[in-house]
Structure 1
Amino acid sequence: MAKPVSPWLYNISKQLAAAELPVIYEYEYVGYFFRVHTLAETCWLVVTWTNKQQVAFRLAYSPEDLLAIEEPKEQDGKLTFLIGSGIGDYEVTCVLPKSETPVLRLTTTLMPATPMLFPYWPRDIVPIGLPQGEVKASQVGTRSGQLYFTIAGAKGGSVLYMQNLTALADYNQQTETSAGDTVGGEWPEIGFALPPTLKNKPLEAGASYILSDAFIALSDEVPADEPAMVRQYLDLLAAIYLQLPKPATEYKNWPEILDKGLFDLQDSPGCWAQVAGNHYFNAYVCDYQTPPEIMVQLAILLPLLDYVEWNDGELSVMKKIKAGLEAFYNKDLGTIMRWHPQALDKLNGEEEHKKPLVMDAWYLQHPLLNLSRLALKGDKIAKQLFLDSIGFAIKVAHHFKYEWPVFYKMDTLEVVKAETQPGKGGEKDVPGLYAHIMLQAWELTGEKRYLAEAEKAALKLKGLGFELFYQANNTSFSAGALLRLYKITKKEVYKELSYLCLANIFKNVRLWDCNYGYGVNFPSFFALFPLSDAPYTAAYEEEEVFCAFHDYLRHAEDEDILTSARLLMAEYIRYLVDRACYYYPPMLPKEMLEEKVKTGELDTDLYIAVEDLHDGWEKSGGVGQEVYGAGNAFGILPRHYMQVEGQPFMIYTDYPTYGFLPKKHRPAKFRLAGDGRLQARLLLVKTGDDKMPVLSVFVNNGKEALKGQKTKEGHLEYTVPGNAEVKVNW
């Protein structure tokens, strides 16, 4: 039985399939045919695959009308159509494919003839003949305006459609609409639809508005299995990313930002609580109603450790944190606990996880991971806590057969909440996080049983597709663990599963800049959402994903991994370094911050990150200022600034790097991660009052030094390609 469809889609598909349909323009590229047709009120670009499959993408639409199309103009691979209609004048540009992976760009601009409302707008993709197909991934909330679908059968193919929602800013600003949830649909009624406008917010007559800016990557492959699907998605996403307009970034003074954040973290009373003679960080500023959590203490301690190792220094605040860790150990259960046992009376049970013995599945795993990291650096107390708790973690894993619920009771392992949503399962990325912990235990002890545990857990991720992602940082830690498993065992399945984790991460980013409403006050391109359904991006998860990507790329330095994966991870890192400072309230106008917050208080002068940045029409900071997100600057500085002993400068890049030699070595040599088709920023950062030496920068063993530009602060700035060998001499 055929799947029911709307009469609009049925009739359009039938008309577009007519053999005698006039062709306005035709173009062929590597076996694909691109033809432009009109059907009275609509104009379409029809793509025909080598196997004769056809999909149409709408270029212009004017309901109950007859479009008047002028002869197209072609220049440098770009077609321009001027289209007259009753609702106004359209200009449509088509950038035809030239790259190895065919990518189209279709941009539609309208100049309305009269003030105009859009109460409804049909979706813009028509699979001609209404074949069997499947939507693999689509936009959720204000994530990327993406639609990844496949068409089954002998005439099959795949498409990744990406709406450049940045370009719609004028439409969204004028109509006070959001670009969220605009790309999607149920097969075969799919595509992008303009957000409906309100009665009192029309488009202005005579002004120009971009109504669509679509990038479309094509493949004649229908993935045969999950690994093929994941590889195709990442490759098509990277192909579009290379052509997607990307906002410029600016150098941010992270040493200064770190100093401000460190002062506020140590000295602000709202960050601290005291229990049984020890000091603990609150989860949120001025949140005195919640007991201290071990996850919070360790989530701050580890980035501080990164910083002091880089700086060869000491921080007394780290001793305070370590002094209170042993209190979280429960001898009766043989494990660390989430809540401080001497402050459990503060738990009022208003939320299902805020009960003494209730554990959120990942909240046991995450502290164990951080304890293992401390243990591997020689911390004896952390090693003891980790090894004393690992048996309980294995017991839980075996009880749930490596498939964790959301909440369970620590004493009985009774399930308190089985699924995130009905039919969606539990915390599906926890097996990967658990595998990471087991690998750490194996590295720490040499006991092969831990390696066996890691493999058993990792295989539970197979078949989860784009539903694997529960929480961003845990999924990214899983990706790194699986790559390590591949390197240890040489079993391809683990490398493929690491790609699956990465694909889930990149499905949950925002590849557009929200330049409307409050969104004009902060950059949001390539921001990452903490949960699969979260309505905001969050500082803590972004910082941990940033660190996890650095770690993944380090482990992958000499491995044969997907070029697309390297490209996307390096670019996420580059944009995070540009964006992350805007989580700090002093970087934002006060009018865009919530006055009342869910947890604790919001101090707009404090360099403690707000948890949440929202869509441009919504105020931010309503969840609270997350003290456990304080690792932001402490993660960035040691990974992006290279110190040179005895010289008044540091070397900064916004791309991750490999192989920087000890800071006294001259010349300084290192290699950038990423892809040579994209460019990174290199700065020689002036650090004192002394005069900078004469500096020379060389790339890829070139004989001629690059030309840099001097900034107003006295730094020297260069643009260098990704994946380049860099040498700095003085």
Structure 2
Amino acid sequence: MNPISAWTATAQDKLENGTLLFKKEIKGYKLKAIAADFCLWFAVEWSNGARIAFRAAFAANDTLIVESVMENADGATIMLSGNTGNIKVNLGFPETAEAVFRYTTTIIPAFDLIIPYWPRDIMPLYKGSGKTQNTKGTVHASQVGTRSGTLFFTLERPEAGSVFYFQNLTALNKFCEATETSAGDLVGGVWPEVGFKLPVTNVEKPLKQGEDYIISDAFVLLSDEMPGDNYQISRQFLEHLAAIYLLIPRPETVYHDWPDILHKGLKDLDEHKGCWKFADGRTYLNAYISDYKTPPESMVQLAVLLPLTDYDSWSGEDHHPMIERLHNGLENFYDEEIGTIVRWLPALEKNLDWSEEQKHPEVMDAWYLHHPLLNLSRLALNGNALAKKLVLDSIDYVIKVAHHFDYDWPVFYKMATLQVIKQETAEGQGGEKDVPGAYAHLMLQVWQLTGEKKYFNEAIKAAKKLDGLSFDIFYQANNTAFSAGALLRVYKETKDQTFLNLSYLCIAAIFQNVQLWECDYGNAKHYPTFFAVYPLKDAPYTAAYEEQEVFSALHTFLKEADDVDEFLPSVKLLVAECLKYVINRVPYYYPPMLPKDAVAGGKDVKTGEIDPNLWIALEDLQDGWNKSGQVGQEVYGAGIAFGIVPRQYFKVKKGGFMVFSEYPATSFRVQGQSLTFFTRGDSRLQFRIVIIPLEKGKFLPKTMLYAGTNRSKEEIAPKNNTKDFREYTVYGDSKIKIDWK
């Protein structure tokens, strides 16, 4: 038996003796609305009698009076009153293939009200008169920090199925703004007391008398399926999340002039002295603006060099002086004694200040060994001879380390001796669990570079180490995204379903660490947060560089999936939407996009300095009640725009214009005065296509845009239409044709 609180024991007793208001049926499930003294419940029953109750209204130590119940075909509206105020509950049944219901609760306090405690809103029940403490369930995923308000669990005793619960935290903005509370860490709990709770308020910031506040907006998806392993758990999570995603309120995106942002950033990167330092006879990028104390890092140079070379090839512009400057310093990161590229510039490693675990000479962070080599291998595949030499000179050491740790890397180790410095991220949590995926990705790149099958075999061995990790596969978002792509490539080579399932597991772990709500309180009123991707599973902020790398990795992942016939539609939907919203949000990492009083400065900045006028990204965007940029202004985040422009813009030189697509697109073909291409994503969701001149100041030709399938297309009227800007809204998974005159 599970221990339960007195609150739950009392609530359960009241529920069993409550007043039935009405019954509904949802695709084979029975739903009863029950008024029980200080609570209103929606009790759901499976066909075998298993039950779960959802608390839609609560009034502490009060008796709620049911004033009215208005039923209709789509749901019901229930009006309640009590000494603490009035409560309105809307119950709805969205049109969807799954069994889903939604309840939204609004309160109007009778006086200035504080909330020192609030119970969670889900109470599992046993069959018949059995007790909550007799139930057994497993929580697979729940909210951490300010991520999505999701709770995914299985009811195992009595055996019933799974529940995917989604709290639309966007609806809580007025509550949080009034009480100066955060919507973080609200959805979770310990079985059997799980669900959503309101944040605690204080006397200085009460809810105001007579004001209306939404205090819950919950979507509940019911399933008879009992996931048997981590693959089934991840598939169910993705399919249920996609189903709910189609129902939740989603903010509009806006078009940002990325070519203009790119050129501002490129100018500041080139000219601002705080971006650069001279060391060991070469010029290097600082990791953060004006951080001259920390030695140059290999990852930082390559984080800018690689996307800059991609952009240089796409644009036809000449950025060779900066490319050459970055390129010339790379070989100095090779350590002849150890036989590999290292993190810190060897000539200055002695200057490390030991302020952090990794800032010790010869200490390697497990993921960091592979990351610079991944970027070098991509440069090598593009024909860079120095990059190829550095990769091949380092690869034997990388394999030696993998074999030494049996593909299960610790967090930190000594490079020369492989002595473990830190084994686990936290006690009982293991090391950096997505590193085998990053290693596999590197091995696949080297296999492609050399044609030697031994590297492919190394990728297979590492990938198998990811089996059985479930959502714990996620350590760092960009590495987990790289892992997803590597696993999909292995699946395509081997046709072994294990690797496809593992790739889904990586994607599920990423989407468990996103923010599917719009924070509109405090400083966050000045920047969008919907579909923000968190860099670590416990990080309190989102990070510019990791988001840019997730964007690039997921872009490649969708491309790899084009010829996988059995690929999950839910993954295509979620990944395309993630990319759309990344493009919409990441401009706000640039401090000129934010009010100066929303940006940290002075002693509040951990590393380097903040120049609020500089088009170099802040590392961190915080919860609305904190200032952003507290970690620093990261020079290695300068690759954001270089990564986005070549992937989202297509140049039509014959027509004198460029096409921007929020969704990833493929198979661009120009024939005569027509451009055709295909867009990825889901046909139930819309995105933006924009046509702009190739050169600023030039006028656009007359264009006609058609969207649909190979067999059927219709002309789409522009949403906005000027001489130098034309915007269209189209559906995903379409063939697009643009004619011009």
Report the TM-score when normalising by structure 1: 0.98
Does residue 1:308 correspond to 2:312, yes or no? Answer: yes
C-alpha displacement at 1:625, in angstroms?
A: 0.5
> After superposition, what is the alpha-carbon deviation per residue over 1:65-120, rounded to whole angstroms, capped at 9, x for unaligned?
22222342245614211111221111111111431112221100001111110111
- Correspondence for 2:26: 29
| Counterparts of 2:714 and 2:184, CA distance in 1 | 48
| Counterparts of 2:38 and 2:346, CA distance in 1 | 69
- Correspondence for 1:581: 587
Does residue 1:233 correspond to 2:237, yes or no? Answer: yes
SS of the residue 1:146 aligns to: strand
- Correspondence for 1:161: 165
Pick aligned residue for 1:722 from 724, 729, 732: 732
- Correspondence for 2:599: 593
C-alpha displacement at 1:723, in angstroms?
A: 0.8
1:116 partner amino acid:
L
> After superposition, what is the alpha-carbon deviation per residue over 1:537-574, rounded to whole angstroms, capped at 9, x for unaligned?
00000000000010000000121211111111111110
Does residue 1:399 correspond to 2:404, yes or no? Answer: yes
Does residue 1:418 correspond to 2:423, yes or no? Answer: yes
| Counterparts of 1:229 and 1:673, CA distance in 2 | 25
Q: 1:621-660 counterparts in 2 under 5 A?
A: 621-660=629-668
CA separation of 1:169 and 1:649: change in aligned 2, threshold 3 A: same
Does residue 1:672 correspond to 2:643, yes or no? Answer: no
Q: What CA RMSD, in Å, does the superposition of the two structures yield over aligned residues?
A: 1.4
| Counterparts of 2:642 and 2:82, CA distance in 1 | 56
- Correspondence for 1:216: 220
Pick aligned residue for 1:141 from 145, 148, 151: 145
Q: Is the 8 A contact 1:14 1:128 kept in 2?
A: no
Q: Is the 8 A contact 2:443 2:456 kept in 1?
A: yes
Question: Is the deviation greater in 649-658 or in 431-440?
Answer: 649-658
Question: Is the deviation greater in 642-651 or in 255-264?
Answer: 642-651
- Correspondence for 1:379: 384
| Counterparts of 2:736 and 2:16, CA distance in 1 | 55
- Correspondence for 1:100: 97
| Counterparts of 1:16 and 1:204, CA distance in 2 | 30
- Correspondence for 1:82: 79
Does residue 1:183 correspond to 2:183, yes or no? Answer: no
CA separation of 1:92 and 1:676: change in aligned 2, threshold 3 A: same
Q: Which runs of 5+ in 2 are unaligned?
A: 127-131
C-alpha displacement at 1:725, in angstroms?
A: 0.9
C-alpha displacement at 1:664, in angstroms?
A: 6.8
Does residue 1:173 correspond to 2:190, yes or no? Answer: no
> After superposition, what is the alpha-carbon deviation per residue over 1:385-436, rounded to whole angstroms, capped at 9, x for unaligned?
0011000000000001101111101000001111111111111100000000
| Counterparts of 1:98 and 1:586, CA distance in 2 | 43
| Counterparts of 1:259 and 1:281, CA distance in 2 | 18
Pick aligned residue for 2:326 from 321, 324, 330: 321
SS of the residue 1:574 aligns to: helix
Does residue 1:258 correspond to 2:255, yes or no? Answer: no
2:8 partner amino acid:
L
SS of the residue 2:153 aligns to: strand
1:220 partner amino acid:
D
Q: Is the 8 A contact 1:88 1:111 kept in 2?
A: yes
C-alpha displacement at 1:16, in angstroms?
A: 3.4
SS of the residue 1:27 aligns to: strand
Q: Is the 8 A contact 1:50 1:220 kept in 2?
A: no
C-alpha displacement at 1:648, in angstroms?
A: 3.0
1:324 partner amino acid:
G
| Counterparts of 1:408 and 1:236, CA distance in 2 | 40
C-alpha displacement at 1:199, in angstroms?
A: 1.3
Pick aligned residue for 1:289 from 286, 290, 293: 293
Does residue 1:66 correspond to 2:70, yes or no? Answer: no
SS of the residue 1:424 aligns to: coil
> After superposition, what is the alpha-carbon deviation per residue over 1:139-159, rounded to whole angstroms, capped at 9, x for unaligned?
111111111111115632111
| Counterparts of 1:692 and 1:410, CA distance in 2 | 57
Pick aligned residue for 1:123 from 104, 114, 120: 120
C-alpha displacement at 1:313, in angstroms?
A: 2.8
Does residue 1:572 correspond to 2:568, yes or no? Answer: no
Q: Is the 8 A contact 2:374 2:441 kept in 1?
A: yes
1:697 partner amino acid:
L
Q: Is the 8 A contact 1:13 1:127 kept in 2?
A: no
2:494 partner amino acid:
T
| Counterparts of 1:579 and 1:238, CA distance in 2 | 21
- Correspondence for 1:684: 691
C-alpha displacement at 1:15, in angstroms?
A: 4.4
C-alpha displacement at 1:222, in angstroms?
A: 0.9
CA separation of 1:703 and 1:99: change in aligned 2, threshold 3 A: closer
- Correspondence for 1:490: 495
| Counterparts of 2:5 and 2:157, CA distance in 1 | 23
| Counterparts of 1:319 and 1:49, CA distance in 2 | 66
Q: Is the 8 A contact 1:518 1:592 kept in 2?
A: yes
| Counterparts of 2:365 and 2:258, CA distance in 1 | 34
| Counterparts of 1:266 and 1:727, CA distance in 2 | 39
Q: 1:265-280 counterparts in 2 under 5 A?
A: 265-280=269-284
Q: Is the 8 A contact 1:53 1:157 kept in 2?
A: no
Q: Is the 8 A contact 2:103 2:219 kept in 1?
A: yes
> After superposition, what is the alpha-carbon deviation per residue over 1:624-650, rounded to whole angstroms, capped at 9, x for unaligned?
001111111111111111110132321
C-alpha displacement at 1:341, in angstroms?
A: 1.2
| Counterparts of 2:587 and 2:482, CA distance in 1 | 23
1:677 partner amino acid:
R
| Counterparts of 2:672 and 2:372, CA distance in 1 | 37
Q: Is the 8 A contact 1:25 1:35 kept in 2?
A: yes
Q: Is the 8 A contact 2:15 2:35 kept in 1?
A: no
- Correspondence for 1:563: 569
- Correspondence for 1:510: 515
C-alpha displacement at 1:697, in angstroms?
A: 0.8
| Counterparts of 1:497 and 1:341, CA distance in 2 | 37
SS of the residue 2:716 aligns to: coil
> After superposition, what is the alpha-carbon deviation per residue over 1:262-290, rounded to whole angstroms, capped at 9, x for unaligned?
10111111000111221111100101001
1:314 partner amino acid:
D
| Counterparts of 1:11 and 1:140, CA distance in 2 | 29
Question: Is the deviation greater in 9-18 or in 495-504?
Answer: 9-18
Pick aligned residue for 1:152 from 139, 156, 160: 156
Q: Is the 8 A contact 2:655 2:673 kept in 1?
A: no
Identity %: 51
> After superposition, what is the alpha-carbon deviation per residue over 1:635-673, rounded to whole angstroms, capped at 9, x for unaligned?
111111111013232111111112112x67641111111
Pick aligned residue for 2:559 from 514, 533, 554: 554
| Counterparts of 1:234 and 1:343, CA distance in 2 | 46
SS of the residue 1:35 aligns to: strand
Size of the aligned set, in residue pairs, is 726
Q: 1:466-477 counterparts in 2 under 5 A?
A: 466-477=471-482
| Counterparts of 1:628 and 1:665, CA distance in 2 | 41
| Counterparts of 2:399 and 2:578, CA distance in 1 | 34
| Counterparts of 2:163 and 2:618, CA distance in 1 | 37
C-alpha displacement at 1:711, in angstroms?
A: 4.5
> After superposition, what is the alpha-carbon deviation per residue over 1:667-697, rounded to whole angstroms, capped at 9, x for unaligned?
1111111111110111112344343222111
Question: Is the deviation greater in 333-342 or in 7-16?
Answer: 7-16
Q: Is the 8 A contact 2:137 2:155 kept in 1?
A: yes
SS of the residue 1:660 aligns to: strand
| Counterparts of 1:29 and 1:629, CA distance in 2 | 48
SS of the residue 1:461 aligns to: coil
C-alpha displacement at 1:621, in angstroms?
A: 0.4
2:593 partner amino acid:
M
> After superposition, what is the alpha-carbon deviation per residue over 1:586-625, rounded to whole angstroms, capped at 9, x for unaligned?
0000101112311111000000000011111111101100
Question: Is the deviation greater in 421-430 or in 155-164?
Answer: 155-164
Report the TM-score when normalising by structure 2: 0.96
Q: Is the 8 A contact 2:300 2:636 kept in 1?
A: yes
